[in-house]
Amino acid sequence: MSTAPTPEFPAGFRWGVSTSAYQIEGGVGEDGRGPSIWDTFARSPGRIVDGSTGDVACDHYHRHAEDVALLAGLGVTAYRFSIAWPRVQPGGTGPGNAGGLDFYDRLVDDLLVHGIDPVATLFHWDLPQPLEDAGGWLERDTANRFAEYADLVAARLGDRVRLWITLNEPFIHMSLGYGMGVHAPGRTLLFDAFPVAHHQLLGHGLAVSALRARGSGPVAIANNYSPVRVLGDTDADRAAGAAYEALHNRLFTDPLFGRGYPDGPAADPGVVRDGDLDVIAAPIDVLGVNYYNPTGVRAPEEGAPLPFELVPLAGYPRTAFDWPVVPEGLRELLGWLRDTYRDDLPPIQVTESGCAYDDTPGADGRVHDPERITYLDGHLRAVRAAIDDGVDVTGYFVWSLLDNWEWAEGFTKRFGLVHVDYRTQARTPKSSYAWLRDVIAASRGPATR
């Protein structure tokens, strides 16, 4: 753990934490909430490591006041949460569900009372099951339904939400949900999943227009990025690295800035209609960056189904997810975005950054997580270095406030600043919570409160 003081950040820098609806809310089936693809997927045998579901998760639906108090105690200036589409529109279309909208109305008001900016993500992977039954994101109409849903939410919350995020990690949803089948909805289409990419981005562009028509904003998208490390020195290795770069980092970014889709096996022009790229390139106010680690890539063996092979990066500490801890990769990534998109690039906010470790309460009842403190310290230093490099980074959100239901890993991976006993729902702030609280207080100072 570094003993040097964490560097200062500019006045007005946004300090936040992030969560997502299905991972923490619970309340499945309450107040008119309809089924999502994750409800269906979690009930399919063998899909979730520990056989659990998000039916209760962290019971945030009933305990949100307790969780907002934790946010206030941490001293964050913003809270990034997601709105469950099936809680607002149980069938994925039609009028809004009053019970669901009331819940988010209460949450937003509670945040504002505590001086915390509500940052609302419209889609964090929990598609209403009726839309998936109709084809999901493979169908163009889902983009139109998403815009309708965005309008419903903005009509209720748009006067108070301080930043809208349309989509969370559309690359991950496409690749793991529709390409590889390890996330909901569990399809295994490989590169035939490209329509999912285009229809998500089209939905993003239509939602931006819907939000702006309501006079609501500013607006962002949160993309997952991973610096590519080419492991090998052949032309084939470099080509493999370029192919992965195009798929992971550029497929969901180039079109945002009017550059169309990168060349490569995923970019099927038959899906794209006249005018679509103009809709997708609607100006955004912030680019959300989710960063966890770089990716090692080399040329695949002959006959492999993909044009690259992913290789674990050696020589770094590992998280409980077996992800390498590479803080300098975040600085590298932020510089890459600046150099690649230049004047097109809006201000950046790091909308997710965090780590899973096997945190358990000690004999004293406290949860000590020095590895997470080291992780956060390193990544905050990387952000400060990127700012010094001239990258316009205006915020940092830790993933996550709470230990939660971690998708296909169920309850086996803990990312939280706050430990959750899933049996009793007791919340216990970890040592990283206290550490971050002090960092935020020192950075903000009395003049920036």
Check whether domain 14-241+284-444 has CATH 3.20.20.80, yes or no: yes
Of 331, 334, 346, 319, the C-alpha closest to 406 is 319
CB 326 within 8 A of CB 293: yes
CB 168 within 8 A of CB 82: yes
CB 128 within 8 A of CB 166: no
DSSP state of 36: B
* 445 to 24, 63, 94: CA distances (angstroms): 31, 30, 47
CB 419 within 8 A of CB 403: yes
Other C-beta atoms lying within 10 Å of the C-beta of residue 420: 23
129 is in an annotated binding site: no
In the block, residue with structure tokens 């939000």: 211
Catalytic position from the list 25, 132, 245, 352: 352
* β partners of residue 296: 229, 311
Six-digit token pair at 148? 């309708």
Catalytic position from the list 169, 245, 301, 309: 169
- Per-residue pLDDT of the chain (449 residues), as tens digits, is 555 778 899 999 999 999 999 999 999 999 999 999 999 999 999 999 999 999 999 999 999 999 999 999 999 999 999 999 999 999 999 999 999 999 999 999 999 999 999 999 999 999 999 999 999 999 999 999 999 999 999 999 999 999 999 999 999 999 999 999 999 999 999 999 999 999 999 999 999 999 999 999 899 999 999 999 999 999 999 999 999 999 999 999 999 999 999 985 555 667 999 999 999 999 999 999 999 999 999 999 999 999 999 999 999 999 999 999 999 999 999 999 999 999 999 999 999 999 999 999 999 999 999 999 999 999 999 999 999 999 999 999 999 999 999 999 999 999 999 999 999 999 999 999 999 999 999 987 654 33
30 is in an annotated binding site: no
Residue 139 is a catalytic residue: no
Delimit the domains of the chain by residue range.
Answer: 14-241+284-444
Q: Residue 126 and residue 148: Cα distance in Å, rounded?
A: 16
CB 234 within 8 A of CB 178: no
23 is in an annotated binding site: yes
Residue 147 neighbours by CB under 8 Å, 6+ apart = 203, 206, 207, 209, 210
124 is in an annotated binding site: yes
168 is in an annotated binding site: yes
Residue 352 is a catalytic residue: yes
Q: Residue 446 and residue 430: Cα distance in Å, rounded?
A: 25
249 is in an annotated binding site: no
